[in-house]
Structure 1
């Protein structure tokens, strides 16, 4: 069996060009995996508008998939574009869209929505990390609900070295993550308590256009280990989401469980199954 692992580089952390092989080293013998990623085209990866590396990676994956049995894409954009090229090339390989989430769907224009429907039409299985997504996405994408499955976010740990020296001196609060975050409200709150410090690890897109108070420090594109160092040494963590239905923050909340850190979380349906009243939540 031949399978492809397809993804684009994370804008939140500095991967230093290291290719992420997902679960491929741990799968059953007899599966021949190949990873295709935007990291393999570093020069194109610097061009964000249009994001040529994404489109080329998706096309390469679809072309390779002509002789494969399974394609696994990670995230919404790679699922869409790989799906589009697979349809255009009439590729018959099965397509698993892993970690599929659309936190900004309401802001999509008609053209983007049509591309979504075209690209996702033949996807065999879509996996996301919250129950609410399995209910809201089928009518939006025009895909049968039986193809959607919720699997709780899982991780082997945070790889945080708790014995390492803190990267930030003194006491501070931390917020980690980029998608679906309401950093605008959090920054306004921090401006009201200038005696407190906040460290934020976020993608540039998630803080674009925001006024950052003097007591807030923002880190982008740093090594994952540094992000976990910031989280591990904070007094507590904050997970501000844009709305009660935004399907984001699952990776962050699971990491915070591992770190055994108290966390202020937006009351969100997406946290059902993660934040459980009278078990790990004070309301």
Structure 2
């Protein structure tokens, strides 16, 4: 059995679940969209490396039994390329998730290309309903799995000497509302970790500290040393924040999050998080203050969240799911 795996963001040494699936009969072939020459590093739009990897994977998929692709645009690219190369393996799209939904010509392209994909893996039940309607696909082709991961590795000292809260990540975040909330909590330090351009550094109050592009272990180290982790999402239908939620829970941090259908499978108000409406600085301020000041509540949220993430987001669930798919399930 030959399985071709195409990764959008992971490096060339990433083997996905190949080492966790006990199938000696599988020949794994790996392709990644990491820029590997000066032109690919220089030209980022269009992302040449993605389409180079997609064509290479589609060529490799001729005669393969299964094609695995990660993230939606890469999935559409390699699915379209299989039409050019004549490859026809079963195709599983993993981490099929959007920060912003496609429109116009991009949507038309994806609707056409995604017809060649037979199964999609999403990380919320809301997406199971949303994407079939958007792309004109059978809902039965969409599977749900909680975001799977191990306890994040961390390294380094705390970024601040005093207790603080954190907010990390850059996809579909509403940092403007969070910063507005923090203006009314001058005694509570906040550390934000995101990519450049997401937060206007010139407008930050004195209690908000901004860090950019930390290595993965230092990124999670900010969470590990925090008193609680805040996940402020853009609106009530945002399908982002899963990695931050699960990673924070596994590190034993209490969560304050804004309500969204996309994270309803992860947060239950008063159980695994304190939840408030999006776009409401006063409500977010009150939720942060409550969890910051109430040691008992903070401890309960942290413990319930850790147990929840340990149970439903075990990284072995992904290997089991892919194993079933490769076995014809």
Q: Kindly state the Cα deviation for residue 72 of structure 1 after the two structures are TM-superposed.
A: 1.0
Distance 1:109 1:273 in 2: 27
Residue 121 in 1 paired to residue 137 in 2? no
Deviation at 1:191, TM superposition (A): 4.3
| Contact 1:19/1:39, CA 8 A, preserved across alignment | no
Match of 1:39 in 2: 34
SS at match of 1:186: helix
Q: In structure 1, what is the equivalent of residue 57 of structure 2?
A: 61
Whether the 8 Å CA contact 2:67–2:89 is kept in 1: the answer is yes
Question: TM-score, length-normalised on structure 1?
Answer: 0.87
Matching residue within 9, 13, 22 for 1:19: 13
How far apart are 1:47 and its partner, in Å? Answer: 2.3
Alpha-carbon contact 2:97-2:122 (below 8 Å) kept = yes
Segment drifting more, 255-264 vs 169-178: 169-178
- The whole-number CA distance in structure 1 between the counterparts of 2:29 and 2:200 is 39
Residue 241, structure 1, aligned to residue 233, structure 2? yes
**Distance (whole Å) between structure 2 residues aligned to residue 253 and residue 266 of structure 1:** 12
- Per the TM alignment, residue 19 of structure 1 is displaced from its structure 2 partner at its CA by 3.0
In the aligned structure 1, how far is the partner of 2:100 from the partner of 2:56? 27
The 1:167–1:115 alpha-carbon spacing in structure 2 relative to 1, beyond 3 Å, is same
- CA contact 2:158–2:221 (8 Å) conserved in 1: yes
Root-mean-square deviation (CA, aligned residues, Å) is: 2.3
Distance in 1 between the 2:34 and 2:91 partners? 21
Deviates more, 1:209-218 or 1:193-202: 209-218
- CA–CA separation in structure 2 for the residues paired with 1:23 and 1:49: 30
1:84 CA drift (Å): 1.4
Larger radius of gyration: 2
1:159 lines up with 2:150 in the alignment:
no
Of 213, 216, 226 in structure 2, the residue corresponding to residue 224 of structure 1 is: 216
Pair 1:203-2:195 in alignment: yes
TM-score (norm 2): 0.75
Give the structure with the larger helix fraction.
2
Q: Does 1:213 align with 2:207?
A: no
CA distance in 1, matches of 2:76, 2:218: 31
Alignment deviations for residues 98-139 of structure 1 (CA, whole Å, 9 cap, x no partner): 01012311xx33101101101211101000000010011111
Q: Is the 8 A contact 1:76 1:102 kept in 2?
A: yes
- C-alpha deviations, 1:137-177, integer Å up to 9, x for none? 1111011111001111121211235xx52244333221122
C-alpha distance 282-234 of structure 1, shift in aligned 2 (>3 A): closer
Q: What SS class does the counterpart of residue 30 from structure 2 fall into?
A: strand
In terms of mean alpha carbon deviation, does 86-95 or 187-196 score higher?
187-196
- Give ranges in structure 1 of 5+ residues lacking alignment: 11-16
Question: Any idea what the Cα deviations from partners look like across 1:200-256, whole Å, max 9, x if unmatched?
Answer: 222346x17786515434333321101110111112111011111111111111111
Aligned to 1:180: 172
**Structure 1's 281 and 188: CA in aligned 2 closer, same or farther, altered over 3 A?**
closer
Identify the residue that residue 137 of structure 2 maps to in structure 1: 143
| Residues 62 and 86 in structure 1, CA contact (< 8 A), matched pair in contact too | yes
3-state DSSP class of the match of 2:110?
helix
Question: 3-state SS of the aligned residue for 1:84?
Answer: helix
Give the structure, 1 or 2, with the largest relative contact order (CA under 8 Å, sep 6 or more).
1
Deviation of 1:45 after TM superposition, in Å, equals 3.4
Residue number in structure 1 paired with 2:74: 78
1:167–1:226 contact (8 Å) kept in structure 2 = no
Q: Structure 2 residue aligned with 1:29, among 1, 7, 24?
A: 24
Structure 1 stretch 187-196 or stretch 243-252: which is displaced more?
187-196
Are 1:38 and 1:45, in contact at CA under 8 Å, matched by a contact in 2?
no
Preserved contact between residue 249 and residue 255 of structure 2 (Cα < 8 Å): no
SS in 1 for 2:116: coil
Kindly state the Cα deviation for residue 178 of structure 1 after the two structures are TM-superposed: 2.1
- SS of the residue corresponding to residue 191 of structure 2 reads strand
